[in-house]
Structure 1
């Protein structure tokens, strides 16, 4: 909504209700767009493949219910109650400055994530064009070498810039006029294309073996590490700990049920992950690929599979179009976090803020684009704390800053803010269960995820 700044006398856009806020359905679609990112289409399939398939998927659902949804509701509740950015909302609800500084962690996290996330998003655009053009249709191609050759050059910088330009343009158009409209078009379109790809994948010869791998549980393949990986992904898949859902929550109408919205977003996240699994695993098994191909599953194993498929250039292009849509809808929510902060902090216009933040995030991401591990890039041999620049940004945000941000949200909602239940619309047993999870269960599990991720907690 717009408001008059008392210091400057200028009209500025602020979080809240009104023209700048989401409609009820628009908010849910935008939030699903934030959660349905490369985590669903890229990371979820390969970690599921590495951890036994169906049993891991069921474990992931359990973790999403126990950890993901309670924190998701907490973030949105803080945003709507505080009516500010990811930092000021915490201060507005307590009037204590230390919470404002704690909230700043999620804004820094989102900005850092955006810098290298745009690089991976750029890869999807490149592969989409290459696939539609038939450049990935040679069954004898060295797909691993092709990917590393591309990642080791300078073209990823161009594609990253394009991602930033699209993201900045959408955000500059505003919440209802940009972010909501963008997601209203892309998220339903994403589902239609995904369903088409699922039907094609399930009709491939030998596809049922892949479907069985994804749908028939074998709990003997699970171990302690699987549990922590599922916990971590349930946290990351909903864009928690980096201020996205808190910022989106500040644009939510007061008459919207946050409880119902939480369930809808969680269901949407699971639906897209489920269908993505029924696209990828049947395709992988049909062409003799390994479901545990790791991070190379999307950019190495699947292009090789599509090359063997009739009209593979078309279906491969559609698949990477899906990846690109998932990446862009998430990118919009991530960049909106520092944009909302800067607009409120420095009273800049939305267009100016979006331009500045997109440019700065792009420039920060250039070293990541040139330092992909295994690729012979200009900065691939530059190591900081034993990691490439790309890996350092990924590790520090995903495994340190995001868990810290999530822990802050649980402690704030569980202990510091006394009216969380009222804002969330929860009473009775549901409220007490939510508080129990936020006060005791979620913090403990987040700490375990953190200790495992940084190597303190190990399993033989």
Structure 2
């Protein structure tokens, strides 16, 4: 039974990271901003090719090192182990993501609570509520951010198995079932559902640019938690008998399926009630969508509560995935307790999150920097892709190929292994570098 839950738990842990706010918030939003189907197609392509190949590379690092990201680089390197150890700094990407991620989770938690008894009457009222929350109501923003923060730390304090895996075993099936029920309900809205299908699966070049390519690549890495040590950390604790090839394929498919389900659910409501599908950023969920639940009568309150509750629990799972790699590293290298490591990491995360909140508040406009946008763009468009490049080059050129094959040979034939190795050596890093360079210099 333990082996069974270890296998399922691993899938759900990583899938949880993939289907958190990265999918529930970023996927519909970025789809709306970047041309619908063209963006979706690129996201699918990058996830199934580059994302999947890097995912397997990071699993190999974790399985062979049984350690954190920094120690995986240094212990597995056949050349320059001390220099490769510095690549462990990409773990900081998870901390940067977590700081603004928990702020968004605070918004989700606030809407989860208030949707029980209040829903805005229309778009104007919803826009006023959300604008007031992020730009004026500092105490409520900090309160719900703090609740999300301490709940995340509490779960991580229980450890990888007791805290994280048990959370996923309970929550992820419930979340998946809730999304299926919501999707079935959306099918009742013939007009909105058909328009949502057309929007997500019909090309629209009017909102597409080459910048959309980088965003699709960043979203693939974001939803798979690549480049920041999450997969290395989890696979270090993975049961040796687990067929990680099948698990990885299942994770990718779950990731893509839930992304598309979330997109269909959000855009069905958007089109059914005539809202703007091109709303920017978080407003797609917190303004456009929340205002539509009211039009469903008393059922809208239940649906809104279930929707935001699902987002919150999925977000908790993702948040846990972000903070665990650095905590694991500190425990391994400084021989301190998990609680002390959490206090240290948590302090940094909390301060960065407060800065994100303050930078959106109009009373702190003197800060002159939108920490939320800076951290989001820096991590999704640069830090995560750079981390993926590092792991690709490392596995492809600086690890013992015989040791890697020993990990893969139980679940993969040699021809497929050699194809993957070629892909991870040349295709993945060169494609990421080309996309990033085009974005920066052209």
1:79–1:246 contact (8 Å) kept in structure 2: yes
Residue of structure 2 equivalent to 1:322: 310
How far apart in 2 are the matches of 1:448 and 1:403? 11
Deviations 1:279-310 (A, max 9, x none): 11111100111222121201111112222222
Residue of structure 2 equivalent to 1:397: 379
Q: Which has the higher helix share?
A: 2
My pick for the range that moved more, 278-287 or 419-428, is: 419-428
1:421–1:427 contact (8 Å) kept in structure 2: no
Deviation at 1:271, TM superposition (A): 1.3
1:148–1:376 contact (8 Å) kept in structure 2: no
Residue of structure 1 equivalent to 2:358: 370
What secondary structure is seen at the aligned counterpart in 1 of 2:441?
A: coil
Deviation at 1:336, TM superposition (A): 0.5
1:21–1:253 contact (8 Å) kept in structure 2: no
What secondary structure is seen at the aligned counterpart in 1 of 2:54?
A: helix
My pick for the range that moved more, 395-404 or 68-77, is: 395-404
Deviation at 1:405, TM superposition (A): 1.0
2:218–2:384 contact (8 Å) kept in structure 1: no
Within-5 A mapping of 1:401-420: 401-418=383-400, 419-420=403-404
1:67–1:442 contact (8 Å) kept in structure 2: yes
My pick for the range that moved more, 31-40 or 345-354, is: 345-354
Residue of structure 2 equivalent to 1:24: 7
2:95–2:323 contact (8 Å) kept in structure 1: yes
Aligned match for 1:130, one of 114, 129, 134:
114
Residue of structure 2 equivalent to 1:436: 422
Residue of structure 2 equivalent to 1:350: 338
My pick for the range that moved more, 188-197 or 107-116, is: 107-116
Aligned match for 1:108, one of 92, 113, 123:
92
Residue of structure 2 equivalent to 1:423: 407
Unaligned runs of 5+ in 1: 1-18
Deviations 1:232-288 (A, max 9, x none): 322222111111111111111222122112101101101111211221111110011
Unaligned runs of 5+ in 2: none
User: TM-score w.r.t. structure 2 length?
Assistant: 0.91
| Count of equivalent residues | 430
How far apart in 2 are the matches of 1:242 and 1:36? 17
What secondary structure is seen at the aligned counterpart in 1 of 2:224?
A: coil
1:263 to 2:249 alignment: yes
What secondary structure is seen at the aligned counterpart in 2 of 1:253?
A: coil
Aligned match for 2:294, one of 283, 286, 307:
307
How far apart in 2 are the matches of 1:431 and 1:321? 41
1:85–1:340 contact (8 Å) kept in structure 2: yes
1:90 to 2:73 alignment: yes
What secondary structure is seen at the aligned counterpart in 1 of 2:35?
A: coil
Within-5 A mapping of 1:148-297: 148-152=131-135, 153-154=137-138, 155-204=140-189, 206-214=191-199, 216-218=201-203, 224-295=210-281, 296-297=283-284
Deviation at 1:51, TM superposition (A): 3.1
User: TM-score w.r.t. structure 1 length?
Assistant: 0.88
Residue of structure 2 equivalent to 1:9: none
How far apart in 1 are the matches of 2:294 and 2:148? 26
Deviation at 1:358, TM superposition (A): 2.4
